[in-house]
Structures are given as C-alpha cells and as structure tokens.
C-alpha cells in the first residue's frame, strides 16, 4: 500500500492555506491511488465530515440563505409578510452617506484591531518569551481579558475613559492636560472602542505568537549569535520568517472576529455619538433590524458584509500562498 497519496496532497496543499488551493492538484497522481483505497477515503470523509456539515448547513447556512432572500424584501421585523423589492436595499446602501461612514468606521476599527492586537501581541510574546521572573503570572494576566464577556469589558472601560470618573482624565488632569471627549468626539469614541477591543483581544494574538516563538528553531538563533548579528537583524532575518505562518493565521481569524464585534460597542457607545460615530457594519445590521425594524435592509447589510469578508479572506489566502512560495 502506497503512502503517496497522503504525502502528495500534504506536500502540495499548505498548512494554513485553505480554500484557494486548486482542488484537482494531484490529479496526475490520483491514478496511482488504488481504487479501493480511494473509495474508502471518500466514505470515511463523508462519515467524518457530515455531522459537522449538517450542523453548519442547518444553523448557519440555512439562515444565511434566508438572509440573502430577505435582503431583497422590505421585511419589517415584526411583520408576518414581506414584499420583494428587487435590489432597492442594495441601491440604498451603496448610495447612502451613512454607509460611507459605517464602512469607514468598520475599516478603521477592523484595521486598527488587527494591526494593534497583532503588533502588541507579538511584542508581548517577545517580551514574555524571555526568561524573566514572574512571567508565568503575567502571561495569565494577558490572557485574562480574553475570558471576560464583552459587556463587562465595556463597563470596566468606562472607568478608563469616562470624562468624570476615568483614569485617563485623572492622570492627564495631574499634569494639567484636558482629556479628549472620548464619548462625544466621534473620532475619539472610535479610538476608545478600538483600544478597548484590542485590550480584550490581546490574549489571543499573544498566545499564538508566544507558542510560535517557543516552537522556533534554536540552531538558527545560535547561528545568528555566532554571526554577532544585531538584535534587530536577528529578529528580521531569523525570527520573523518563522513567525510568518502564525501571522497569516492570525490575520484571517482576527479579521473575521473583529469585523463582527458587537457587545463592546453596544455597551460603550450604542453606535454613537452623533448617531453613528462608532457604528460598524455589524452594529448597523443590529440597528436596522431590531431598532429601525427594517429587517430586510439589515439583511442586505449582512449580505454585503458576508461577501466582503469572503473576498477579503480569499485574497488573504492568495497572498499567503504567494508568500509561502517565495
């Protein structure tokens, strides 16, 4: 019995490279695969995958299909009936000034969240990868916010940013500087919710990077030390390349997560100030569906969001593939 099929596919499809890989890649080698073996694989794959796929179809994709259909209607959330209105909702979203702001907020929030939590997570991982006293306790500390419910985080951070009770105004007040109006200036408000989310999400990126650092190749480090390379050169030439797969993995998962942040924004600003100062797409979905009762329009925003994420992820995977080959 040949081990080739598995080795072949494992060799060509890459670790964190999901969808874009060409499905029929090992076609030439497939012939070498004994037919019985192949059939067994298919049956087994079906048995292994079906329960999970059935659940995903029933409870994620069925609602998604519902959602896409409803996005072409004027459905009011409380109404038993809805009328098809074609692409009116889509036209409205793409031509509305509000959407531009919402899109901008989403891009800024997501971009900053991805970048911020990854850069800081990496810095913390580099720091706590060193042999320092008390680092295990600090590692746990960094992970702890990830365990908190988002709503509690929102309340706790009022004590950081509040113009009356907050730590920031307290500290700045001591040096005679007036704190920014975090809850009232839309840009500072967006900054505030972003920082809060980064804090919460730090534990996740930190742990992934830390593990990546721990798994890196010691002999490369030693070689670099013999070369007497500077710390920065060492990081850039030796450490960073080894962290690339972790970076790509995080890029995908952190982006998908931060795109869908709801509870932190809801408890801190309810999408305000000035109406939609911190409204992101997923918050708009909620707002339109449940507050404005325009569930059809909310479904449209959700559909656009899904498609955008799909495209972004596919692009990420392509880039990742290219980076790997290079």
Partner 1 sequence: MTALAPQDRPESRTSDSPSPAPPSAAPHERSSPLSRVGGYLGLLLVILVVALPLYWILISSLKERPDIYTVPVTWVPDPFTAANYSRVGTGVAFTDYLRNSIIITTVLTVVEVTLGVLSAFALAFLRFPGRSLVLLFVIASLMVPNQVTVISNYALVAQLGWRNTFAGIIVPLAGVAFGTFLLRNHFLSLPKEIIEAAEMDAAGPLKMLWRVVLPMSWPTLIAFVLITIVTEWNQYLWPLLMADDSSTAPLPVGLAQLQDTAGLTNWGPVMAGTVLTMLPILVIFLLLQRHMIKGLTAGAVKG
Partner 2 sequence: MNPLDRRRFLQLSGLTLGAVGLSACAGTGSTEQSGDGGPVETLTMWSNHPGESKPVESQLLDAFTEETGIAVNLVTAGASYEEAAQRFNAALSGGELPDVVIASDVTWFNFALNDAITPMDDLWQAVGVDTAGYVDSLREDYEFEGAHYALPYARSTPLYYYNKPMWAAAGLPDRGPETWAEFAEWAPRLAAANPAVAPMVVPDGSNYLDWYFQGMIWTFGGAYSDEWEPTFTSPESLEAGRFLQDMYRQNFIAISNDANNQFGAAQAASLLQSTGSLGGLKETAQFEFGTAFLPGPPPGTPTGGAGLTIPANISDERKEAAMQLIAFLTNTDNTVTFSQATGYMPVRQDAIDDPEMVAYLEENPNARTALEQLAVTAPQDYARVFLPGGGARIGAGLDRITIGGEDVETVFRQLGEESQQVYERDIEPKL
Taking CB under 8 A as the criterion, which residues in 250-309 touch partner 2?
269-276, 287, 290-294
Cβ closest to partner 1, residue 190 vs residue 304: 304
73 binds, among partner 1, partner 2, none (CB under 5 to 8 A by kind): partner 2
- CA 33, 39, 40, 42 dihedral sign is positive
Window 62-81: contact mask with partner 1 (x via CB under 8 A): xxx-xx---------x----
Q: Does 116 bind partner 2 (CB under 8 A)?
A: no
Q: Please list, in sequence order, all residues whose beta carbon lies within 8 angstroms of the beta carbon of residue 169, skipping any fewer than 6 positions away.
A: 162, 163, 179
276 binds, among partner 2, partner 1, none (CB under 5 to 8 A by kind): partner 2
Q: How far apart are CA 188 and CA 66, in angstroms?
A: 37
Q: How far apart are CA 192 and CA 189, in angstroms?
A: 5
Site for partner 1 in 29-48 (CB under 8 A): 30, 33, 38, 40-42, 44-46, 48
Cβ atoms of residues 22 and 322 within 8 Å = no
Residue (of 285, 274, 278) closest to 264 by Cα position:
278
190, 212, 268, 304: residue in contact with partner 1 (rule CB under 8 A):
212
Q: How far apart are CA 18 and CA 145, in angstroms?
A: 30
Cβ atoms of residues 5 and 45 within 8 Å = no
Q: Does 71 bind partner 2 (CB under 8 A)?
A: no
Residue (of 152, 155, 119) closest to 254 by Cα position:
119
Q: Does 198 bind partner 1 (CB under 8 A)?
A: no
299 binds, among partner 1, partner 2, none (CB under 5 to 8 A by kind): partner 1
Place of tokens 């080739």: 4
**From 91-99, 100-108, 154-162, 271-279, span contacting partner 1 (CB under 8 A):** 154-162
Q: Does 56 bind partner 2 (CB under 8 A)?
A: no
Binding stretches for partner 2 (CB under 8 A): 54, 57-58, 62, 65-66, 69, 73, 75-84, 158, 162-165, 181, 183-185, 269-276, 287, 290-294
């Amino acid at each position: 019995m040949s081990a080739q099929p598995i080795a072949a596919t494992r060799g060509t499809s890459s670790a964190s490279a999901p969808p874009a890989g060409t499905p029929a890649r090992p076609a030439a080698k497939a012939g070498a695969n004994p037919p019985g073996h192949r059939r067994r694989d298919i049956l087994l794959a079906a048995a292994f995958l079906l329960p999970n796929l059935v659940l995903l179809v029933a409870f994620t994709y069925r609602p998604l299909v519902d959602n896409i259909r409803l996005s072409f209607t004027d459905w009011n959330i409380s109404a038993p009936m809805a009328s098809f209105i074609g692409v009116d909702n889509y036209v409205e979203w793409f031509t509305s000034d509000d959407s531009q702001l919402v899109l901008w907020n989403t891009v800024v929030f997501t971009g900053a969240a991805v970048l911020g939590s990854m850069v800081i997570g990496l810095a913390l991982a580099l720091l706590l990868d060193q042999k320092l006293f008390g680092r295990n306790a600090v590692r746990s500390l960094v992970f702890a916010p990830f365990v908190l419910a988002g709503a509690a985080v929102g309340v706790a951070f009022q004590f950081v940013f509040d113009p009356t009770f907050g730590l920031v105004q307290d500290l700045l007040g001591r040096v005679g500087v007036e704190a920014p109006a975090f809850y009232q200036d839309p840009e500072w408000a967006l900054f505030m919710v972003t920082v809060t989310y980064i804090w919460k999400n730090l534990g996740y990126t930190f742990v992934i990077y830390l593990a990546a650092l721990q798994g890196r190749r010691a002999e490369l480090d030693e070689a670099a030390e013999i070369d007497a390379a500077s710390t920065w050169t060492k990081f850039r030439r030796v450490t960073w390349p080894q962290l690339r797969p972790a970076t790509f993995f995080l890029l995908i998962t952190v982006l998908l997560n931060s795109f869908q942040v709801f509870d932190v924004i809801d408890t801190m600003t309810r999408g305000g100030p000035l109406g939609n100062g911190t409204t992101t797409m997923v918050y708009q979905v909620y707002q339109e569906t449940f507050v404005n009762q325009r569930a059809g329009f909310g479904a449209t925003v959700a559909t656009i969001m899904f498609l955008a994420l799909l495209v972004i992820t596919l692009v990420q995977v392509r880039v990742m593939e290219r980076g790997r080959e290079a």
